[in-house]
Copies of this chain bind each other. A is one copy, B any other.
């Protein structure tokens, strides 16, 4: 099976489309990688560029984008609502198919070393790549943001980066790099306006409170109706069908029906294949039987 990695670097520029496009265009000419999506937000003053491809190509492309962002973004002048510590703020590597999370960790370490060596930018490893427990969570790594870290990185040994100098880059700050599993954003809409019911169900299904593994959940009100909004951070453990069934079951106990569900954004083919396998007990079914998959490999 072809190895496919996704990488979604976040850059601290969400207003100047010229700059964002230049960062994106750094990928041009690198074969084996494709830009799938680009998003930017003015009030966050932040952009996300999604690339997918072979591990080597994604490594090369992510470095090329970081290099461009380093040249074009000055953190000394940056303001925005979203927490950030660098021009390139965070770079997650995500396994899509034919590759393990561990291989993505290796990829993140390679990129971290290269960024430190060639661009002289301090790098923190997070999520599955974290070398310390207190760096798994992105919010903890970003504590104090660019302005706070500027002093702390020099004075507080706890904030020493995993690669590179104990000093922020003059304009590009620091970068958080790591590997994490594919996150499926999945919402289930209830047949009620009562947001408290959505909150109760969320409390039942989320891992934190003893629910399903790899499920984060909150109750919201969307268009006047109650919604259980979930992040499935490990669809191999809890996939869309299992999460749906769990919400449906809890809703039934509370006397409420499920209206429909929505998969937000992209989903890897493997998650669909897994749903089909589970739903119809098709134990031997594999993505190699998907016609389009065979066509493109």
Q: Taking A260-B281, A282-B263 as contacts, is the C-beta distance between A52 and B276 under 8 angstroms?
A: no
User: Which of B4, B275, B284, B292 meets A262, CB within 8 Å?
Assistant: B284
- B261 near A295: Cβ-Cβ < 8 Å: no
A167 within 8 A of B: no
Residues in B with CB closer than 8 Å to A295 are: 4, 34, 36, 52
Docked Cα-Cα span, A144 to B294, in Å, equals 38
Residues in B with CB closer than 8 Å to A276 are: 240-241, 263, 272, 275-276
Docked Cα-Cα span, A270 to B52, in Å, equals 22
- A293 near B292: Cβ-Cβ < 8 Å: yes
* A interface residue numbers (CB < 8 A to B): 4, 6, 34, 36, 52, 96-97, 240-241, 244, 258-263, 265-269, 272-273, 275-276, 279-285, 289-296
16 further A-B pairs in the complex, CB-CB below 8 A; given A269-B291, A275-B275, A275-B280: A36-B295, A259-B281, A260-B281, A260-B283, A261-B281, A262-B282, A262-B285, A263-B282, A263-B289, A267-B291, A268-B291, A269-B290, A269-B293, A272-B276, A275-B279, A296-B296
Most buried by B among A267, A279, A285: A279
Docked Cα-Cα span, A294 to B96, in Å, equals 13
Docked Cα-Cα span, A282 to B261, in Å, equals 5
- A279 near B282: Cβ-Cβ < 8 Å: no
Prevailing SS type, chain A contact patch: mixed
Docked Cα-Cα span, A266 to B279, in Å, equals 18
Whole-angstrom distance between the Cβ of A185 and the nearest chain B Cβ: 11
Q: Taking A266-B291, A292-B97 as contacts, is the C-beta distance between A260 and B282 under 8 angstroms?
A: yes
Residues in B with CB closer than 8 Å to A258 are: 281
User: Which of B240, B265, B269 meets A292, CB within 8 Å?
Assistant: B269
Docked Cα-Cα span, A258 to B281, in Å, equals 9
Whole-angstrom distance between the Cβ of A262 and the nearest chain B Cβ: 6
Chain B residue nearest to A33 (CB atoms) is B295
- B4 near A292: Cβ-Cβ < 8 Å: yes
